[in-house]
């Protein structure tokens, strides 16, 4: 698959964008007109730079408001087009995108449109240019890709084809299956963009909220499957208008973009395999290469089976040790060569890492996941351009395959075991065989705060590298704004990550006010809370108003309600079951949560999240 990206996706100057695209490994780019017009580089210099960087200049765009106009306007439009064709010849480019008219079209007549597009194609032919006609979702008369293609068919000129843009097609819910009926020679270009499902006008949605494939909710693998089945072999190019990407680090965004295409390519191949038509499978039997477009695959991974460990890091670890002890964790010993400690409760393993920078406040530093094969999982992550984390190991020590997540949490791919134990624990203390007390406890979920400019990147990272499934995002009210919250989990819930986006105001204060937490699931939360209370644990104090509201909503047994209130426990219930939980006070940027899931409760106590945010906000501003 030939990969591409439109310069409009990225921040910076045209030169910076082109360099970043080359570093990220794109085959070609779409030059967005604005980027050229505002560049100090001459067209010849751009052409040379692209050649030097090994980047194809695959599409010049956009050319707006051409068709369905009065004769006067047509004349002016053809003149304008010719100027661009001449420019393209200096750039060494041969394909231009012409969008359906949104502003100046006054005549809704396909015959007229076809004759005008025919004139454009003829002129383009004189300059060796190919016109890719694209139906914008908000086009005045042409806003449907099948309509745009009908016009291309009517004109029937070698220099006129169509451009398929997933956003314009999927935002309008157009059926993608008819793409297969399009003559592949007439598909001059394919653009891909994902988006969250939002209910708003489609123009604003397109201009501000597009994201890279895998970061939104569109069925892009299916879209691409139909494109591949149509026989298309040209560039598959990202065209993502996004306010955040346009102000983020250009090289990093380009890598995120490339990751999305590598992942989409694999997903498209997968979609084709599981949606093979009878004809296609016969063809498959006949030859291994079923379609003209070759789709690369990746090392395959299953979703992780569980958390292997969580690691918190601090310069002064005393507070962390105290908290874990009060929660009922046992200190299992120090590592034989590294300055790290192992604490366990049942199968929940927490590493306290003392190798932090001076004065570094406690923070979540790493997460380990149980995978079938750490080597295969690591190979996959690296092919998806995840940065590798280097860890020093001595002889006889478990070699951890590590990658760095977008928020720089280190992710370790560990060998899972059927009984939930971890092979590396013997490196601690006196050579523990199977540490862990007789209580049953596991890591239930981990909640990570994401910097605003890396949230979408994180969703794609965990989806593509770890095979976690993103759930629809929610917005949780907090005293300093709505917190965007997105759950990423395995189908059986054995790994649950919650990504939270701190309100911008919080990210801007000098003090690191965002908080992250690790939640442990136990069988008897009330008993766990009572023991923790006896050991002097400082609970997050829940306001009395909360318990009144709880009673109003759930009509709880008075005794049970009194216990919840006494122990600062939170409660939720839905059709599947019940959820009890409590939070500790925060040390540095970390706090812990203890939960008990009853029945098949599958959530996170979302109705209680605003209470937690408010209490934490209050305690921060009091201290
Ligand atoms: O938002 C626009 O105007 C616009 C321009 C060119 C495109 O290819 C597109 O998909 C949208
Ligand atoms: Mg487009």
Binding-site residue numbers for Mg(2+) are 445, 517, 593
Residues 151, 113 contacting (CB under 8 angstroms): yes
Decide: 235 in ligand 1 pocket, CB within 6 A.
no
Rounded Cα distance, 452 and 357, in Å: 25
Percentage, residues of the chain above pLDDT 90:
84
Determine if ligand 1 sits within 6 Å of the CB of residue 171. Answer: no
pLDDT digits (tens, 9 = 90+) for 106-143: 999 999 999 999 999 999 999 999 999 999 999 999 99
Spatial CA neighbour of 494 closest among 429, 443, 439, 557: 443
Q: What radius of gyration, in Å, describes the C-alpha atoms of the chain?
A: 28
360 C-alpha to center of ligand 2: Å? Answer: 46
What is the reported pLDDT for 391?
75
The pLDDT of residue 512 is above 70: no
Pocket of ligand 1 contains residue 365 by CB under 6 Å = no
Q: Which of 134, 171, 238 to mutate to test the pocket of ligand 1 (most atoms within 8 A of CB)?
A: 134
Give the pLDDT confidence score for residue 617 in this predicted structure.
Answer: 86
CA-closest candidate to residue 464, choices 310, 307, 300, 309: 300
Alpha carbon distances (Å) from 425 to 332, 372, 603: 9, 19, 31
Average pLDDT rounded to a whole number, residues 403-424: 91
Q: Cα(229)–Cα(221) distance, rounded to whole angstroms? A: 12
Q: What is the pLDDT of residue 434?
A: 54
What is the 8-class DSSP label of residue 242?
B
pLDDT at position 355, please? 87
Our answer on whether the CB atom of 248 is closer than 6 Å to any ligand 1 atom is no
Tell me the CA–centroid distance for residue 72 and ligand 1, in Å.
25
* 266 within ligand 1 shell (Cβ under 6 A): no
Average pLDDT rounded to a whole number, residues 154-176: 98
Ligand 1 atom nearest residue 167's Cα: 10
Least confident of 80-94, 276-290, 320-334, 388-402: 276-290
Contact 594, 522 (CB under 8 A): yes
- Tell whether ligand 1 has an atom less than 6 A from the beta carbon of residue 139: no
* Distance (Å) from CA 145 to ligand 2 centroid: 11
Q: What phi, psi does 150 have (nearest 5°)?
A: -60, -40
pLDDT digits over 348-367, tens only?
999 999 988 888 899 999 99
Q: How confident is the model at residue 511 (pLDDT cuts 50, 70, 90)?
A: very low
Query: How many Å apart are CA 587 and CA 241, to the nearest integer?
Result: 39
Residue 623, pLDDT > 80, answer no
DSSP 8-state assignment for residue 271: H
DSSP state of 428: B
Which residue, by CA, sits nearest to atom 2 of ligand 1?
207
**Beta carbon of 207 within 6 Å of any ligand 1 atom:** yes
Where along the chain do the CATH 3.20.20.150 domains lie?
A: 2-286
- The stretches of 433-485 forming alpha helices (DSSP H) are 455-466
Backbone angles phi, psi at 406, to 5 degrees: -55, -30
Q: How confident is the model over 269-311, as pLDDT tens digits?
A: 999 999 987 666 665 555 445 799 999 999 999 999 999 999 9
Listed in order, the ranges of the chain carrying CATH 3.10.180.10 are 306-622
Query: What's the rounded Cα separation, in Å, for the pair 194 and 240?
Result: 8
Closest by Cα among 134, 139, 203, 213 to 171: 203
**Residue (of 214, 218, 205) closest to 174 by Cα position:** 218
Q: Which ligand is nearest to the CA of 62?
A: 1
Ligand 1 atom with the shortest distance to the CA of 134: 8
pLDDT greater than 60 at residue 610: yes
Question: What confidence tens digit (pLDDT) does each residue in 169-191 have?
Answer: 999 999 999 999 999 999 999 99
Distance CA 411, CA 388 (A): 9
pLDDT at residue 216 tops 50: yes
The CATH number corresponding to 306-622 among 3.30.360.10, 1.20.1250.20, 3.30.465.10, 3.10.180.10 equals 3.10.180.10
Nearest to 590 by CA among 352, 320, 322, 315: 320
Q: What is the DSSP letter of 300?
A: -
Percentage of the chain modeled with pLDDT above 70:
94
Q: Are 503 and 431 in contact (CB under 8 A)?
A: no
What gap in Å lies between CA 88 and CA 96, rounded to an integer?
A: 8
Centre of ligand 1 from the C-alpha of residue 33, in Å: 11
The 10s digit of each residue's pLDDT in 485-500 is 999 999 999 999 999 9
Specify the ligand 1 atom closest to the Cα of 97. Answer: 8
Say if the ipTM goes beyond 0.90: yes
| Cβ of residue 152 lying under 6 Å from some atom of ligand 1 | no
In words, the CATH class of domain 2-286 is: alpha beta
Residue 600 tokens read as 């098949």
For ligand 1, is residue 62 a contact (CB within 6 Å)?
Answer: yes
E strands along 391-505, which residues? 401-404, 410-415, 441-450, 469-470, 474-478, 481-489, 496-501
Q: Taking 90 as the threshold, does the pLDDT of residue 503 lie above it?
A: no
Query: What interhelical angle do 455-466 and 250-274 show, nearest 10?
Result: 40
Ligand at minimal distance from the CA of 192 is: 2
Cα of 136 from ligand 1 centre, angstroms: 7
Number of H helices and E strands in the chain, helices first, is 19, 25
Residue 278 pLDDT = 67
User: What spacing in Å lies between the alpha carbon of 239 and ligand 2's midpoint?
Assistant: 6
Higher pLDDT, 482 or 47: 47
- Residues in binding site for a divalent metal cation: 134, 165, 191, 239
Considering only CA atoms, which residue is closest to atom 1 of ligand 1?
Answer: 207
Specify the pLDDT at position 435: 53
Token match 């569109």: residue? Answer: 218
Ligand nearest to the CA of 205: 1
- Residue 165 Cβ inside 6 Å of ligand 1? The answer reads yes
């Amino acid at each position: 698959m030939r990969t591409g990206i439109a310069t409009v996706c990225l921040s910076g100057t045209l030169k910076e964008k082109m360099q970043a695209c080359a570093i990220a490994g794109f085959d070609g780019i779409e030059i967005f007109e604005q980027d050229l017009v505002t560049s100090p580089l001459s067209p010849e210099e751009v052409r040379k730079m692209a050649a030097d960087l090994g980047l194809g200049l695959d599409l010049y765009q956009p050319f707006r408001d051409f068709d369905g106009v009065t004769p006067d306007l047509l004349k002016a439009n053809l003149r304008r087009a010719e100027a661009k064709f001449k420019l393209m010849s200096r750039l060494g480019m041969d394909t231009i995108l012409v969008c359906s008219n949104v502003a100046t079209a006054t005549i809704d007549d396909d015959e007229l449109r076809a004759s005008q597009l025919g004139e454009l194609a003829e002129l383009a032919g004189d300059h060796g240019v190919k016109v890719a006609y694209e139906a914008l979702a908000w086009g005045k008369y042409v806003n449907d890709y099948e309509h745009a293609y009908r016009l291309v068919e009517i004109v029937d000129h070698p220099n006129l084809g169509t451009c398929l843009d997933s956003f314009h097609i999927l935002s309008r819910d157009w059926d993608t299956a008819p793409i297969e009926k399009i003559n592949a020679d007439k598909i001059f270009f394919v653009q891909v963009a994902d988006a969250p499902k939002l209910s708003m006008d489609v123009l604003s949605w397109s201009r501000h909220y597009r994201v890279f494939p895998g970061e939104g909710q569109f069925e892009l693998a299916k879209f691409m499957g139909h494109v591949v089945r149509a026989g298309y072999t040209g560039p598959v190019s990202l065209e993502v208008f996004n306010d955040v990407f346009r102000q983020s680090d250009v090289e990093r965004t380009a890598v995120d973009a490339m990751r999305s295409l590598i992942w989409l390519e694999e997903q498209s191949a997968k979609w084709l395999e599981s949606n093979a038509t009878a004809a296609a499978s016969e063809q498959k039997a006949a030859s291994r290469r079923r379609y003209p477009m070759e789709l690369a695959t990746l090392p395959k991974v299953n979703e992780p089976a569980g958390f292997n460990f969580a690691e918190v890091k601090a310069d002064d670890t005393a507070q962390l040790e105290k908290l874990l002890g009060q929660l009922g964790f046992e200190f299992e010993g120090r590592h034989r060569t590294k300055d790290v400690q192992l604490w366990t409760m049942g199968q929940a393993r927490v590493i306290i890492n003392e190798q932090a920078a001076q004065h570094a406040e406690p923070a979540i530093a790493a997460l380990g996941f149980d995978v079938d094969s750490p080597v295969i999982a690591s190979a996959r992550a690296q092919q998806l351009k995840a940065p590798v984390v280097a860890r020093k190991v001595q002889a006889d020590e478990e070699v951890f395959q590590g990658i760095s997540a977008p928020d720089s949490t280190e992710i370790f791919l560990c060998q899972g075991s059927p009984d939930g134990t971890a092979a590396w624990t013997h490196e601690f203390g006196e050579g523990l065989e199977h540490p862990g007390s007789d209580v049953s406890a596991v890591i239930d979920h981990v909640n990570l705060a994401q910097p605003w400019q890396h949230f979408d990147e994180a969703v794609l990272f965990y989806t593509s590298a770890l095979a976690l499934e993103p759930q629809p995002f929610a917005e949780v009210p907090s005293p300093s704004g709505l917190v965007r919250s997105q759950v990423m989990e395995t189908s059986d819930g054995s790994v649950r990550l919650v990504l939270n986006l701190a309100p911008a105001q919080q990210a801007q204060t000098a003090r690191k006010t965002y908080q992250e937490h690790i939640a442990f699931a136990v069988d008897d939360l009330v008993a766990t809370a009572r023991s923790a209370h006896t050991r002097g644990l400082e609970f997050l104090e829940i306001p009395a108003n909360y318990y009144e509201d709880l009673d109003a909503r759930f009509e709880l047994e008075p005794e049970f309600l009194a216990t919840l209130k006494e122990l600062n426990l939170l409660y939720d219930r839905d059709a599947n079951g019940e959820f009890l939980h409590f939070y500790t006070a925060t040390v540095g940027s970390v706090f812990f949560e203890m939960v008990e899931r009853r029945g098949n409760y599958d959530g996170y106590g979302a109705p209680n999240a605003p209470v937690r945010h408010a209490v934490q906000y209050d305690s921060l501003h009091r201290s």
